[in-house]
Amino acid sequence: MLQCPAMDKKKKIRVELRKNRSKPPRDKRWTQEFQEHGFTEDAQPSQERVRAKGELSRKRTIITSEEALHSEGDQPPMPAVDTHECLLGRVLKVQGLYSVVEGPDGKTYRCAVRRLLKTLVTDERNVVTTGDRVWFRPAAAGEGLIESIEPRHGVLTRSSRRREHVLVANVDQLVVVMSLIEPDLKPHLIDRYLACAQRGGLETIICLNKADLVDPVSYQPLIGSYAQLGVPVILTSARTGLGLELLKERLVGRATVFSGQSGVGKSSLLNALQPGLGLRGREVSEATEKGRHTTTTAELIPLAFGGWAVDTPGVRQFQLWNIRPEEVEGFFAEMRPFVPLCAFPDCSHTHEDRCAVKLAVERRLISERRYLSYLGMLQSAREERHH
Ligand SMILES: Nc1nc2c(ncn2[C@@H]2O[C@H](COP(=O)(O)OP(=O)(O)OP(=O)(O)O)[C@@H](O)[C@H]2O)c(=O)[nH]1
Ligand SMILES: [Mg+2]
Ligand SMILES: [Zn+2]
């Protein structure tokens, strides 16, 4: 039986091919695959010749499914897969050109990515990501070749050198880990995470760690402000165990990504939640941080009490990807009731007269801190646009 992510609704689309495919391998197996598995290759040699040498835009028509075309995260269409020969697995981590994939048999396979797949994905760095469900063709000695990626849901992305980087896919929720001190709490960073989670279809839990080092009472107003937004806040200490039971309750049976700045205690929390895990702590990350281009690896960890967690490397500045300025207010739920009351329908809530949002801030119906976060994100979105 042939199967691709929903093969029923087939559709022809045009895809850009990369330069490295200007001399396509035309061996028998390829041709056969195309005939068998619903591909048609129609890049005509005559068309090719008209174009300048080295041009990137030779096109190929691929039959794909509607579902794949409309999947989240601007995913490219996926090739059809022979489910007799391939296995459906989950990417535990990505290391350079290889991914460690857990197969349906519970074994792990070291997999490369099929070349065709790379040509379909525009950001080469991100062809496959941690948490992806992939079809792979097993080979000898625990190796394999990834042929197709299932549509993603629940993604955490950030922008890195102006490109979107999907840190992890197919997770249910995000635990934003912040330390109350060392490094200092950064509420604006929390707001960015909240927006990013909303965008990626993730629920958020805020975890304020290192509570053993401060008097938590002084943080009550901040905690209250997130509670008002319906976001759970948990005070924790990986050192004393404070709040770990509450955190654990939220993790059971779900796939959760932990993210936050470096040094806030993500690995320490996971180690405390699951004794024996032995995640590498600070010393190691300090060593790797010296090389700025060290590959960032996020790793899926099966939790003994049920569910998955993903420990991710600390982020320096967390940037939202490709947000349009008009989109920003949508990330501030508390602003929503006031927006329709602004005098100008396209009010940006910055300089305009008779702005209901600014009035609400003055009257303390909207927290000033959150409003400043809004202004900061709006500013970033506008700068992004002008680059
Ligand atoms: N006092 C105190 N120290 C903590 C706590 N949690 C973590 N630490 C310390 O903070 C430092 C950083 O902890 P990590 O768990 O490595 O931080 P991380 O968020 O995983 O950092 P990266 O891997 O660099 O992103 C270590 O020295 C920990 O011992 C805590 O709750 N209380
Ligand atoms: Mg860590
Ligand atoms: Zn306004």
- For 205, how many CA atoms within 13 A lie in the half-sphere containing its CB? 21
How does pLDDT run along the chain (387 residues), one tens digit per residue?
Answer: 444 444 444 444 444 444 444 444 444 443 343 333 333 333 333 333 333 434 343 444 343 444 443 344 456 677 788 888 999 999 999 988 899 999 998 999 999 998 878 777 765 567 899 999 999 999 988 999 999 999 999 999 887 666 778 889 999 999 999 999 999 999 989 999 999 999 999 999 999 999 999 998 989 988 998 988 899 999 999 999 999 999 999 999 999 999 998 889 999 999 999 887 776 654 444 444 433 333 357 889 999 999 999 998 887 665 666 788 999 999 999 999 999 999 999 999 999 999 999 999 999 999 999 999 999 999 988 887 766
CATH number of 156-311: 3.40.50.300
pLDDT in tens, 281-298: 544 444 444 333 333 578
pLDDT given at position 262: 86
pLDDT in tens, 349-379: 999 999 999 999 999 999 999 999 999 999 9
Closest residue (by CA) to atom 9 of ligand 1? 265
Decide if domain 325-386 falls under CATH 1.10.40.50. Answer: yes
Where are the chain's structural domains? 2-149, 156-311, 325-386
Surrounding ion ligand 3 within 5 Å at CB are 342, 347, 349, 355, 357
Average pLDDT for the chain: 78
Surrounding ion ligand 2 within 5 Å at CB are 266-267
Closest residue (by CA) to atom 23 of ligand 1? 313
Measured from CB, residues less than 6 Å from any atom of ligand 1 are 209-210, 212-213, 237-239, 260, 262-268, 281-282, 285, 313-314
Ligand with smallest separation from the Cα of 208: 1
What is the number of the ligand 1 atom nearest to the C-alpha of 286? 24
pLDDT in tens, 104-151: 989 999 999 988 787 777 655 678 999 999 999 999 889 999 999 999
Q: Residue 46: CB partners within 8 Å, gap ≥ 6?
A: none
User: Ligand 2 centre from 235 Cα, in Å?
Assistant: 19
CA pair distance 366, 336, nearest whole angstrom: 11
What is the number of the ligand 1 atom nearest to the C-alpha of 289? 24
CATH number of 2-149: 2.40.50.140
User: Ligand 3 centre from 59 Cα, in Å?
Assistant: 46
User: Ligand 3 centre from 192 Cα, in Å?
Assistant: 21
- Match 């840190």 to its residue by tokens: 167
User: Ligand 1 centre from 336 Cα, in Å?
Assistant: 37
What is the number of the ligand 1 atom nearest to the C-alpha of 264? 19
User: Ligand 2 centre from 314 Cα, in Å?
Assistant: 7
User: Ligand 1 centre from 19 Cα, in Å?
Assistant: 44
